[in-house]
Amino acid sequence: MRCPNLWLFFLCSFVIFYLCSFEEWITTEHELVLNKRLQTFQRLFPDASSEANPFDSVTTERRLNFHYPYDENSNNGLIQKNIWQMWKKPPSDESFPYKPLHRKWIDMNPNFKYHFQTNANVDQIIYDEFKDTVPEIPHALDLLPSIILKADFSRYVLLFLYGGTYADLDVNLEILIDDWLDTNRNVGFVAGLEDDNNVNPRLPRRNQLETWFFKSKARHPVLRKLIATIVRQTFENYEKNMEPDFGDKEGNAICHSVSVMDWTGPALFTDVLWTHLNSLKNPVIVDTDPNRWNLGHDVVSSPYV
């Protein structure tokens, strides 16, 4: 009877040794890959902080939170009264589109500070703000291979820094911002529900949120996580020579591309916001529009965070 027990002992010992060795091998492989990525980053951006790790979104989040901590009670607990819009040229340019819609945001909201930024201005703001604090953010901006990706990323960063309301130029304002339901409430983030892919199969997400309009307090954790995730994805996609897919890729090209919606657009925006909501113990979500009509657009509802 001793022999089977002896064999069982050796077998268990071997399995334990194998599992420990395998786990150690996995850890070593992961560290090697991470070290290689960090070496590539440091070679490309030798001026970056040694604490930076753009391939790890948790590290970037932590660094953002250290330099730009969130205080939900700042500004008397209210979203800052800023309006942000962007385009490649200023409103004075003859080619500037949607001038009547642009004027409505200014004329209908006299109590708000209106900010218009060209793409070049935003790039400079991001560089000046983060070059000495979280330089992986302007580095990620430089690596983004499309103006559409840059525009998505820039709007998140602007509201993270300063707070307020962001709207694309073609958004038609129908209601004064001071008359919206979040006014005078301690609300951190407001986003519109765009559609559901059960209704619109073109959309990549259920209950997809839109990015052409949203409101946020400065330094809100949703935007912090969103920015850190885009930094990580951008460096990973750059390392793999991935290109943005605007829905025009076919065949093998699809294997070497990433959907714009998933890289910086509404799919990623949706994932991050719902992840944040699911992390809260007692989230409050208010349906601002039971008639499914919001600001002149076919928006379903607005989650308050």
* 148 in Cβ contact with 198 (< 8 Å): no
Element (H, E) at 123: helix 119-130
Q: Is the pLDDT of residue 64 over 80?
A: yes
Same domain, 16 and 73: no
Same domain, 154 and 14: no
DSSP 251: G
Q: What angle do CA 158, 159, 160 make, to 5 degrees?
A: 90
For residue 266, what are the CA distances in angstroms to 10, 204, 261?
55, 9, 5
Between 38 and 14, the more confident residue is: 38
- How many domains does the chain contain in total? 2
Same domain, 15 and 85: no
Q: 255-258 — which CB contacts under 8 Å span 24+ positions?
A: 258/233
177 occurs within a structural domain: yes
Give dist(CA 144, CA 121) in Å, integer.
17
Q: What is the pLDDT of residues 222-277, one digit of tens each?
A: 999 999 999 999 999 999 888 887 776 555 556 668 888 899 999 999 999 989 98
Same domain, 29 and 64: no
Same domain, 67 and 210: yes
Helical H segments across the chain, by residue range: 2-44, 57-67, 99-107, 119-130, 136-143, 147-162, 221-239, 260-263, 266-279
Least confident of 59-68, 90-99, 280-289: 280-289
Q: Which residues pair with 165 in a beta bridge?
A: 83, 215
Between 95 and 12, the more confident residue is: 95
Other beta carbons within 10 Å of 169: 17
pTM score of the predicted model: 0.81
Tokens of 26: 């996995």
Question: Residue 37: which domain range?
Answer: 1-44
Q: What is the pLDDT of residues 115-174, one digit of tens each?
A: 999 999 999 999 999 999 999 999 999 999 999 999 999 999 999 999 999 999 999 999
Q: Is the pLDDT of residue 199 over 90?
A: no
Q: Is the pLDDT of residue 7 over 70?
A: no
* 248 in Cβ contact with 266 (< 8 Å): no
Percent with pLDDT over 90 in the chain: 55
pLDDT at residue 25, rounded to an integer:
56
pLDDT at residue 136, rounded to an integer:
95
Residue positions counted in the chain: 305
